[in-house]
Structure 1
Amino acid sequence: MMKGKAFVHYVRIKLGFDRPHTQTTWREQQKIKQYSKGANLAAEIGVYEGVNTLNIALSMSEKGTLYAIDPFFPGILGICWSKLIARHTIQLNGFMNKVIWIEDLSSAVASMIPENLDFIFIDGDHTWNGIEADWLNYSKKVSIGGYIALHDTHCKQGEDVSHKLDTYKYYREVIAKDERFEEIDSIDSLSVLRRKA
């Protein structure tokens, strides 16, 4: 956002005139809600303004715990407006008791996240090294029968991915071939996998 726009957006959200921004489509959000439904233990990598943090918190078990991981890099004034917006969104909806905020890179905090996740949504670092680190660190934490949703990974069969983000390439070359998981759903750029082994 341009200088000052993030602050104005934050104020407008606090006053109820704006909604938090997201990079996910409405259809992708519905899938995130569907597959996080009833989860006792969930994680999200890449919180941004908290839209999907809220979607997961709404859908998961009433006593569930959600680990919300994001470095929340500060802007020019040393403030990360998206962090304030995300926390406001969760607090406004009464879910602060469900969310454990982890303000760091996902690669630095993997050891803090428990095993046996019922659901994880990954929408973090879109570089090859970033998605590789998230896959290696977090796919093993998903319980058998649990779900992992990955943003900016789904493309049509035979589609040229050479011009796309590394997340698409890594998904096609590595994740889609991982025998522990099977792709069970996809919509827009979201892929959903279930752990089978």
Structure 2
Amino acid sequence: MKVLCKKRWHLVKDWMPHGGIGIEIGIARARFSRVCLSFLNPDKLFLVDSWDRGQHTSRAGLREDWTAVQESRRREAYSSMRPDIEAGRVEIIQSLSVDAATRFPDEYFDWVFVDADHSYEGCHADAVAYLPKLKSGGLMIFHDYGVREGYGVKQVVDELIAAGALDPVGVTDEKRAVTAMLRKP
């Protein structure tokens, strides 16, 4: 895919549609969500995260309890989005992303930003769940497209392109966390 810009916020600012309805899947603290709000001024922005708690394996291979970490992220997300939630511009959905997809009609979103479960199975499930929810001509953006151990994002994106489900638009030129943008035909 061709390189569109250096960083993912440049991708938002220069390549994504302003206004409309968008959804970000996997928001953690909602810091990137603020970027989307600032640059795109969407009519409505849905933010989905399960803030999954319990035991997780760290990058060092250690088992860690993420309950406190995820609760801190959840609180920060709600706090930073409070004015926009109260204004009706933002809705936060605490749910598994695939479950949240059932709340929306088909052909609903102008763009879908996928940054939740980076495993092949998780990313594939998100893509399959949200592809029908994306309008024709809409954008599906995948963060962490680069090849990283344990990540299946690149494989999912490449399969969607090969199947003709999405057309490639381009990628960011980042060393680790490449973002891929695709368009629904």
1:44 aligns with 2:24: yes
CA distance in 1, matches of 2:37, 2:148: 35
1:176 aligns with 2:161: yes
- Structure 1: gaps (5+ residues): 1-25, 155-160
1:118 aligns with 2:98: no
Higher RCO (CA 8 Å, separation ≥ 6 residues) = 2
CA distance in 1, matches of 2:27, 2:148: 27
State percent identity of aligned pairs: 19
Offset of 1:47 from its aligned partner? 0.4
1:183 and 1:193 in contact (8 A); partners too: yes
- Structure 2: gaps (5+ residues): 1-5, 54-65
Name the SS for the 2:84 alignment partner: coil
What's the counterpart of residue 14 of structure 2? Answer: 34
- The structure 2 residue matched to 1:151, chosen from 131, 143, 156, is 143
Map 1:23-102 → 2, pairs under 5 A = 27-61=7-41, 64-74=43-53, 75-76=66-67, 80-91=71-82, 94-96=83-85, 97-102=88-93
1:57 and 1:98 in contact (8 A); partners too: no
Offset of 1:193 from its aligned partner? 0.7
For normalisation by structure 2, the TM-score amounts to 0.77
Normalized per residue, which structure has more strand?
2
Offset of 1:106 from its aligned partner? 0.5
C-alpha RMSD over aligned residues: 2.3
What's the counterpart of residue 97 of structure 2? Answer: 106
129-138 vs 47-56, greater mean Cα deviation: 47-56
For residues 36-55 of structure 1, the C-alpha deviation after alignment (integer angstroms, 9 at most, x for no partner) is: 43231111100011122112
For normalisation by structure 1, the TM-score amounts to 0.72
CA distance in 1, matches of 2:70, 2:181: 33
Offset of 1:89 from its aligned partner? 1.9
- The structure 2 residue matched to 1:127, chosen from 101, 119, 123, is 119
Structure 1's consecutive aligned runs of 4 or more residues displaced over 6 angstroms after TM superposition are none
Larger radius of gyration, structure 1 or 2? Answer: 1
Residue type at the aligned position of 2:18: G
1:118 and 1:146 in contact (8 A); partners too: yes
Offset of 1:105 from its aligned partner? 0.7
CA distance in 2, matches of 1:51, 1:124: 14
Aligned residues: 161
What's the counterpart of residue 142 of structure 1? Answer: 134
CA distance in 2, matches of 1:176, 1:105: 25
What's the counterpart of residue 194 of structure 1? Answer: 183
Offset of 1:111 from its aligned partner? 0.7
